Amino acid sequence: MTDPSVPDVRVLTDPGHVPAAAVLALADAARAADGHPPLSDQTRVHVQRGTALAVLLTGPDEAPDGAAVLAPEGEGAVLELVVHPDARRRGVATALAGEAAVVVEQRGLQEAVSVWAHGMLPGAAELAAAHGLTPVRELRRMAVDSSVLAPLTAPELPEGVRLRPYVPGTDDAAWLELNAAAFADHPEQGSLTQADLEDRRSEDWFDAAGFLLAEREADGTLLGYHWTKAEGDGTVGEVYAVGVSPDAQGLGLGRALTVAGLVHMRDGGARRVDLYVDADNTAAVRLYEKLGFVLDAADAQYRRV
């Protein structure tokens, strides 16, 4: 006899059967309650595209209590889990994690899957340890408020460099090449494709005016960028990504681009700006701390080691 206290988990691998809108609404509800997104932007893209390897659900299709999404990432996969705030402490996360472990094993991904615990919510570390996973990476969320943003002025750019907004379509190939070079060692950002870029352009938050490109005045070669992000009423912004070409390192362009984006977001109404940075990227952490950013939360990545 089935134990009614154990949530039923459905494993969906056919994109046509995945209620994408309901999964994303679930994630939005968790973010509103926790102040932290439970699914990465790339995982959300895979849910929308129908390219997730598997989506596990508990509860009704139209309003699930919880979901686990197994999405492709390079040669491996990434697993993220979300439980509705009203359905917590009912064994939903435990049930999802158990079934997700079975799916991962069936696909032979045990050594190639990473699991993200966003916001390091209570119980995440215990659940990961129960499945033999070890923390291998910390992604910090840092923030500044209006007391830091208000006095900022437009930065002085390196000689021979100008700043302009991204032009959709026209700048795609050059930006993708720059991004891949700037994030050659980054497992997510450096692997963005044309399809990924187009998916992000289709998001409600996308604004080409806030996608700032630094180029060499002499020939228009892209040297760096600051992609800003603002959702909702625009009072909270995000340093979505800052990248500098290896050929432009040492010019102070990273700091200048960061400040330029902060000024843009502030002038657009932002009273707070967040960013995400790897804890072991000490140079970036120091730069952000000097600009006034403080630690606000953190994500942990777990793997089997």
Binding residues for acetyl-CoA, by number, are: 81-83, 89-94, 242-244, 249-255, 281-286
Distance CA 273, CA 266 (A): 9
Question: What residues form the annotated binding site?
Answer: 41, 81-83, 89-94, 188, 229, 238, 242-244, 249-255, 276, 281-286
Residue 265 near residue 237, CB atoms below 8 Å: yes
Distance CA 123, CA 125 (A): 6
Tally of CB atoms within 10 A around 294:
11
Distance CA 213, CA 223 (A): 8
Residue 266 near residue 125, CB atoms below 8 Å: no
CA dihedral 183, 187, 189, 195 (to 10 degrees): 120
Contacts of 119 (CB under 8 A, 6+ apart): 34, 35, 36, 38, 297, 298, 299
